[in-house]
Every structure is written in C-alpha cells, then in structure tokens.
Amino acid sequence: MDLDLNGRGVIVTGASKGLGRAAARALAEEGADVLAVARTEESLRELAGERFPGKIHPHVCDMRDRAQVSALAELAAGKLGRLDIVVNNAGIAPAANFLEMDMGVFDEVMEVNVAAVAVLSQAAARVFVESGTGGRIINVVSTSGILGKATLAAYSASKGAAIQLTKALAAEWARHDIQVNAIAPGAFATEAQAYVTGNPEVLAKRVRKIPARRMADPGEFAPLVCYLASAKAKFVSGAVYVIDGGETAKQ
C-alpha cells in the first residue's frame, strides 16, 4: 500500500531510542522528511546518518522547556519546508511507591507527558490551520493510561490525561482537517525495558501476563504510526489504538 508520505514534513519527539526511533525510521523509509527530536545529540546524529528515501534532521530539545517545545513547529516548517505530521512520543516513567514520591517528580512527569504534548500540538495545529492543508497528530500514550499500574501512578495519570487530550482535540480540530489519534503500546522490548528483557525470570513473569506470550519488537509499532500519518486515515480521529498482544483485552 502506497501511503503517499513522500516529502511530508514530520516531527517525532523522543526519537533517539525505542519506539520514537522506530517511528522516525519508518516514516523516513516511506519518504517523509523527519525532524527527530530528543535530548541526546549523539544518538540523533547516528540516526540521521542512516540512509532512507526521506531525510532525518536531528534536533536537540528539552521537553520540559515549554519555549523550546513551542518553537518546534515553526522550526520544522522552516527546516523541512512544510509541516504535516507530529508524533508526540517523548515521555518519562519514573517508578516509585506513591506514598514516598516527591511531588516535584510528579510535576515533571506531567510536564513532559502532558504539557509538552499540549504545547506542541497547539503550535503544530496553528501551522496546519495557517497552511490550510490540515495535518495529523499522533500521541503515543500507554496501556498504563487505560488500566493504571502500581508504582507508576504519575505515569498512568499522565497517559490517561493524554488520552483525553487526544479525544478533545480530535473533536475540536476536525473542522480544520486535523486528525488527532493515540497509540497505546503495551510491553515492547525497548531500552527502557532492559531490566525485564535482561532477566530471564523477570521476563518470564512479565510475558505470562500477555496472551501473546511475548514482548513486541519496536518494528511492530511503526507501521501503525505510518498509517495514521497518511491520507488513508483521514476519517480516523479521536481513536486510541492498543498494541499489547491482548493484555488489556483480558481484563
């Protein structure tokens, strides 16, 4: 299926590793020009050095800095020549017993996982409306935002908020031909899950909770990003796509 992403301008946050890196690669493979955003310059430059039909442009940004985040949309439009798609993937997930959690940590999680998503979405939507061509926003949330998980109260709350933000913006911006959707990944074998994947007993315990009896590869996440970024999904908005091997379905 030709997704017709050649020459499209895309922002992917949290692009230096994991699901963000997989999304940036897949979009560039489809011919899109990607502003790959993260805090780690070395990893971004490695990614930009790979060869794709599209081009990856590295950009260092601290998602806790609202001024930096707000500037991304105009920066991408200028550097790429246009802005069509935003993938809000950057996020943090510090684990802690909530009885002992420092509320400063809670605030930081909300800043990165919710406020930064809102700030960049607003800035991108303004570019979309001004261009008159519409656009796509894809928010990477989590099954933790659907079920809630012990020791991840801040993360679960932030992802639940991001899901509702997705739905509200989809309803508000549909008249501008802006589609806003979310993807809720479950257990993926990324760097963030190194403790699980690197410990056979922990891994076995984790996969027993998943009907598919395995963790997913980041490459299984990227095709859905590309579909939602394409014109094939122009009537899809306000949806939350769960990719978790059936884990939430059994609840």
b/e 90-106 (16+ beta carbons within 10 angstroms → b): bbbbeeeeeeebeeeeb
Give the chain's end-to-end CA distance (angstroms, integer). 34
Residues facing 185 on adjacent strands: 243
Annotated active-site residue 241? The verdict is no
Q: How far apart are the C-alpha atoms of 204 and 221, rounded to whole Å?
A: 22
Find the DSSP H helices in the chain. 18-29, 41-48, 66-80, 103-110, 116-131, 144-147, 153-173, 194-197, 200-207, 222-229
Q: Which of 155, 195, 227, 241 is catalytic?
A: 155
Mutual angle of helices 103-110 and 153-173, in 10-degree steps: 30
Side-chain-side CA neighbours of 41 within 13 Å: the count stands at: 1
Q: From the centroid of its chain, how far is CA 198?
A: 24
Number of Cβ within a 10 Å radius of residue 68: 17
Nearest partner of 229 among 172, 179, 165, 173, judged by Cα: 179
CA 122 from centre of chain:
16
Nearest-angstrom CA–CA distance, 102 and 112: 16
Q: Which residue has 């395995």 as its token pair? A: 214
Active site residues: 155
